[in-house]
Chains A and B, each alone.
Chain A
Amino acid sequence: MTVESTAFEYAPAPESRGVVDLRSSYGLFIGGEFVEGGGKPFKTISPATEEVLAEVGQATSADVDRAVAAARRAYSRTWSRMAGAERGKYLFRIARIMAERSRELAVLESLDNGKPIRESRDVDVPTAAAHFFYYAGWADKLEHAGFGVRPQPLGVAGQVIPWNFPLLMLAWKIAPALACGNTVVLKPAETTPLTALLFAEICQQADLPPGVVNIVTGAGATGQALVEHPGVDKVAFTGSTGVVNAFARAVAGSRKMVTLELGGKAANIVFVDAPVDQAVEGIVNGIFFNQGHVCCAGSRLLVQENVADEVVDRLKRRLSSLRVGDPLDKNTDVGAINSAAQLARITELTAVGEAEGATRWSPACDLPTSGFWFAPTVFTGVSNTHRIAREEIFGPVLSVLTFRTPDEAIAKANNTPYGLSAGVWSEKGSRILWAADRLRAGVVWANTFNRFDPTSPFGGYKESGYGREGGRHGLEAYLKTEPVA
């Protein structure tokens, strides 16, 4: 044999950064132009290396005023008067440009967010483009959507999105809003503003009328100014349940329509008759996809006790093959934690998990020395009273609980203030339908997890929010739905 080594070591396979033309500073995007923000610019870094990527403008309330005014102008003069078919053309054009510039978007997303390029390339960017393609098709068919004979847009939408899927959440927000004839002011998360600003360039490239899309960057105060702004007719927010409380107070009693997509503590239920190898993949995808920075993450594994040991053994073996590291390496499965603050929260909650008596396990993996990193972690022996079984960790941390009977599985799954998603694994169709009927969650996945499609509505029960995004249902959030005589 001339083959000497017995180990198959994958050589580094980094995606080139050359495709991204990173500028040293970015302004706000208001009225179709990039303008400087009134506040002190802030830096956005690569969470994988802590390298400063760019300086980004900070929008003050005066900037938010200007953005809302630009959106209002565009709404009343152009966008709301335009025929649906014409709006659709712009959306199709945006979708095509996103697809054409997909590599650039993917690299920038991975740089700014820390997520593996495999995910930004194969999930985030294509799904974001798919949302624009999907809603472009609705733009001239709104009267057939089931929301009245002549549904009207709401006006100016103020949209605040999180850092976990920056471009995809932008698409979820902007595509239906524009299709319905609204204009938007969108605030991306402070740690991940760059793909939104590249999207602003794409709007220019698509000749989108000025003011239809406005992007204001900044921190919490900017978001607060946006949702409180009296010129905003509609507020759409995706983020943590904690942050939203302030927002909810701000819009309470106002005429503003609101949709909220918040946190989750989803149960991924594995029954004894599950397709075990695929269930293990689904568990991995459920909690380690995007470093667990997923509101619908399957962070609680509920496994039937008579197969629990086997499933956990298989899960551990599988986790040992996960590749943690450079987000731009095409072979990376788990990238960097998005920020120091998020890393601190994950670290704190996992310490609580140990202190409360759960058994902690992680595969052997070398973490980079700079940047924010957390090894995939599994807690076994978790009970429903533990904080790690109740609070959203929003990181690569799985809590394993067991159940004896199907009724117990449902009771445990529903015993949470959240209700965004759930997973059911069984080869028995009747059991899946039985469970889906009883789970108090907006999305129930059967024999899969974390699967997203623009045609499918998404949203939560209870503290996971209200309103639906995606699909025909997603139009309702951006339309006056009462029938017009």
Chain B
Amino acid sequence: MTTTTDPTATARDLVGASHLDDASLRRFLHGLPGVDQVGAEGRAATLGTRSIKTTAKAWAIDMAISMVDLTTLEGSDTEGKVRTLCAKAVQPDPGDPSTPRAAAVCVYNDLVGVAVDALGDSGVKVAAVATAFPSGRARLDVKLADTADAVEAGAHEIDMVIDRGAFLSGRYLQVFEEIAAIRQACHTGGRDAHLKVILETGELATYDNVRRASWLAMLAGADFIKTSTGKINPAATLPVTLVMLEAVRDFWAATGTQVGVKPAGGIRTTKDAMKYLVMVNETVGEQWLSPDWFRFGASTLLNDLLLQRQKLSTGRYSGPDYVTLD
């Protein structure tokens, strides 16, 4: 799935510079059309009024379940908790085997091995948060070692964070090179890990910055762009996700390369998830309506999806005691 072509060459073509530096990247990124805040938020709100009922709701709930990156990123995580989470990802609702499995389990590096072992050949992926998550404040060689450690432990996907300090101070080349280097590390030793780049949009402050960071990450070879670590407020929001979806749509039109999007943090209810799926559907289209191209970084969301799924199939609401605790 992932190509090993050098993103720098592609980026040079797009940016139109013989070599990449802060100035050429700034020219390109600041030449992207601006985002009007009121307009973007208005559009997101309007999409949020779509009414998804009956068959559409059933379809969307199953789609959403299959897109969940079931996440636990706590200092207090234990092997047991990760194994429970893995079992849940493989079979979210023990009472209904027709329930689709989740997309991935997302953990810290030291628990990758446990997750890989627990998931076996279930098809559920293991994602690891690497690169001095969540702050990203470490030297590049430390981040590379962090990434290599996760990849060697068997992670299929790496969720890295960008250096927001570098981005906000205009050191775009540094951000670019770091992403490109981590991407390289995802492909070492015969491994082929998928790279998700976390922009931490809650620290980027403006939608213009979200659009620029999205393009910068895609230029540097991201397979996915992801909103948030979940450790910062605000995490994922509908307008931020809208701006990122527009960016992947435009990147695809410009390069033919499809990049995925992952909102993470703060998405807790089925109703929220429906709004995101509507937004995907009406912004980038059904080509992105697949766990290969859209994910939810979430933990409590899955239980609400399961409760709503049970309600649709049985006609009555149950309660939190009818879904498993993580």
Contact = CB atoms under 8 A, between A and B. Distances in A.
Contact of B36 (A3, A8, A12, A447): A447
Contact of B56 (A6, A9, A118, A274): A9
A275 B33 contact: yes
Contacts of A6: 286, 289-290
Given A8-B60, A122-B49, A275-B36, A281 B42 contact: yes
B193 to A, nearest CB: 22
B39 A8 contact: no
A278 B43 contact: yes
Interface residues of A, number: 29
A330 B54 CA distance: 14
Interface in A316-339: 321, 330-331
A277 B246 contact: yes
Given A2-B62, A6-B289, A11 B55 contact: yes
Contacts of B234: none
A1 B100 contact: yes
Interface string A330-356: 110000000000000000000000000
Contacts of B289: 6, 8
Interface in B136-171: none
A274 B55 contact: no
A11 B56 contact: yes
Contacts of B278: 8
Nearest to B58: A11
Contact of A8 (B33, B98, B277): B277
A210 interface: no
B206 interface: no
Interface in A69-84: none
B39 A448 contact: yes
Interface of A is mostly: loop
Given A2-B62, A3-B63, A8-B281, A275 B50 contact: no
Interface string B256-289: 0000000000000000000001100110001001
B56 A10 contact: yes
Given A6-B289, A8-B286, A278-B43, A448 B59 contact: no
Nearest to A278: B39
A427 B36 CA distance: 8
A277 B35 contact: yes
Interface in B24-48: 33-36, 38-40, 42-43
Contacts, number: 86
B66 interface: yes
Nearest to B242: A277
Contact of A3 (B50, B57, B59, B282): B59
A448 to B, nearest CB: 7
Contacts of A3: 59, 62-63, 66, 100
B316 interface: no
Interface residues of B, number: 35
Interface string A6-22: 11111111000000000
Contacts of A448: 38-39, 42
B224 to A, nearest CB: 18
Interface string B217-253: 0000000000000000000000000000010000000
Contacts of A10: 50-52, 56
Contacts of A122: 49
A243 to B, nearest CB: 33
B219 to A, nearest CB: 19
Contacts of B290: 6
Looking at chain B's contact residues, the main secondary structure is: helix
Given A8-B281, A11-B53, A275 B59 contact: no
A7 B49 contact: no
A282 interface: yes
A330 B52 CA distance: 9
B98 A2 contact: yes
A447 B39 CA distance: 8
Contacts of B55: 9, 11
B56 A282 contact: no
Contacts of A12: 53
A5 interface: yes
A118 B281 CA distance: 19
A91 interface: no
B238 to A, nearest CB: 14
A3 B63 CA distance: 6
Nearest to A2: B100
A276 interface: yes
A283 B56 CA distance: 29
A13 B52 CA distance: 7
A13 B63 CA distance: 20
A1 B36 contact: no
Interface in A107-127: 118, 122
A11 B66 contact: no
Contact of B51 (A273, A277, A331): A331
Nearest to B42: A281
A46 B215 CA distance: 48
A281 B52 CA distance: 22
Contact of A5 (B59, B98, B277, B281): B59
B53 A281 contact: no
Contact of A1 (B39, B40, B66, B246): B66
Contacts of B35: 275, 277-278
Interface in A1-56: 1-3, 5-13
Contacts of B60: 8
Contact of A278 (B36, B50, B56, B63): B36
Interface of A: 1-3, 5-13, 118, 122, 273-279, 281-282, 321, 330-331, 427, 447-448
6 contacts: A1-B100, A2-B66, A8-B278, A118-B49, A274-B33, A321-B282
- Nearest 10 Cβ contacts at the A-B interface: A278-B39, A13-B51, A330-B51, A275-B36, A278-B36, A11-B56, A276-B33, A427-B34, A2-B100, A8-B281
Given A281-B43, A448-B42, 18 more contacts: A3-B62, A8-B56, A8-B277, A10-B52, A11-B52, A11-B53, A11-B57, A12-B53, A13-B51, A13-B53, A275-B34, A277-B35, A278-B35, A278-B43, A282-B39, A330-B50, A427-B33, A447-B39
